[in-house]
Amino acid sequence: MSWLFGIAVFFFGLMASIALHEVGHLVPAKLFGVKVTQYMVGFGPTMWSRRRGETEYGVKWIPLGGYIRMIGMLPPRPADDPNKLRAVSTGPWRALIENARDVALEEVRPGDENRVFYRKPWWQKVIVMAGGPAMNFVLAFVLFAVVLMGFGVGVLTTRVDSVPKCVKTTAEYTKNPECTSADKPSPAAAAGLRPGDVIVSVAGKPTPTWEEATRAIRGHGAGPVAIGVTRNGQAVTLNATLIAQDRESLDVPGKIDKGVGYLGVSPTTIIERQGIGSVTTQMWNLTAATAGSLMRFPEKMVGVWNAAFSGEERDKNGPIGIIGAGRIGGEIAASSAPLENKVATFINLLAGFNLAIGLFNLIPLLPLDGGHIAGGLWEGLKRAFARVTRRPTPGHVDIAKALPLTYAIAFVMVIMAGLLMYADLVNPVRLAG
């Protein structure tokens, strides 16, 4: 039951995030006088709706997104030049574009001429379309602030929590987790480090934080090194002989640093509430990491394909769909962690999803918000150039011409969504194991 409850809670959290994303579009659209006929969460048949004024608000049955319908998203076909013959094309793309124009203009009624989206100033278009991703960024920041400033986060300290007696590879540990006489003693145990010792220096260099101590040990490499510790209030210097090991990089997740120095101690973790500066740093670091992942998105999707059909291990830092996100929510709820930790993990995960949704929507391709933003910025640039060069004001950017590419991208996105759902069912991302 707790697993199902976790899925439901995380699912509704995602739906609330999508609903607020659309509010980010809805509010500026109404402020700028654009007529909005629908505000919907989900796609497909309508589950529930209610009309308020000129806008129908509702929920649809397929929970894979949401939208607002603004009238006049596409401009009408350009007026014919009376001095030229009208170009007539019966090609499929031309027919598609003209049909889309007609559909977009069907909702325009007498008196709505100045309320269509395409006639709004370019900067208003940009604000309306950027409002959705901006709402996701605000949500992510608020949710990260709740976790970091309200619950606090685990901070690794230089106080030693445990000292393994021996060094084992993963395969050796799986076969027998207990140390035997055949196993090599860990450098920390051989040097006499004890739980409760506080590491204050490595090779004579002060190490006030666990990260600095780790970097100093790794950077030293294999060989003897002096480890300064505080034990029961007394300064003690221990002589350890580090060994070389392959460890995951501290800077690039997933990368393995070969032959770095290894001591073999586990740090004590304490919970500390952070300040607003830590929230900003968290947002910046995760934004940079997520943007980097989006740049490698095609490569990541190849990994999802291999995991789905070849049984390869699923990349925990790779993309997942709504089904996968729900399963993670179920794992969190079903875990043995304290309730406070579960709630903090839920919120932190939801914050990360909002950040990813916001960045993904900024990709400058239609039908994503970023495509409309790019169109608005291009229109503003063209008009600014015309003013500087004293040329006639150019017309509105005709995004209808990009519809063939838009439909192609939408088709690819549907295929990717289907692949993610399948992979989430047959080889899901798991928090543990």
Q: What is the pLDDT of residues 266-286, one digit of tens each?
A: 899 888 888 999 899 989 988
pLDDT of residue 102: 67
pLDDT of residue 83: 44
Of 405 and 98, the one with more pLDDT: 405
The catalytic position among 22, 113, 272, 312 is: 22
- Quickly name the fold that domain 154-272 has: Pdz3 Domain (2.30.42)
Average pLDDT of the segment spanning 188-192? 91
Query: How far apart, in whole angstroms, are the C-alpha atoms of residue 265 and residue 227?
Result: 12
Query: How far apart, in whole angstroms, are the C-alpha atoms of residue 244 and residue 236?
Result: 25
Domain residue spans in the chain? 154-272
pLDDT of residue 227: 93
If pLDDT is split at 50, 70 and 90, which confidence band does 8 have? Answer: confident
Q: What is the pLDDT of residues 315-340, one digit of tens each?
A: 777 788 777 777 787 888 887 778 88
pLDDT of residue 1: 65
Of 131 and 270, the one with more pLDDT: 131
User: Worst-scoring range by mean pLDDT, 4-18, 45-59, 85-99?
Assistant: 85-99
Average pLDDT of the segment spanning 8-35? 92
188: closest CA among 148, 145, 225? 225
257: closest CA among 289, 225, 218? 218
User: Worst-scoring range by mean pLDDT, 45-54, 77-86, 224-233, 416-425?
Assistant: 77-86
148 forms bridges with which residues in the sheet? none
Q: What is the pLDDT of residues 203-229, one digit of tens each?
A: 999 999 999 999 999 999 999 999 999
Burial code (b: 16+ CB inside 10 Å, e: under 16) for 105-117 equals: bebeeeeeeebbb
Any catalytic annotation for residue 22? yes
- What's the burial of 354, exposed, middle or buried (CB within 10 Å: 0-12/13-18/19+)? buried
For residues 379 and 397, is the Cβ–Cβ distance under 8 A?
A: yes
For residues 134 and 358, is the Cβ–Cβ distance under 8 A?
A: yes
Query: What rounded mean pLDDT belongs to the chain?
Result: 85
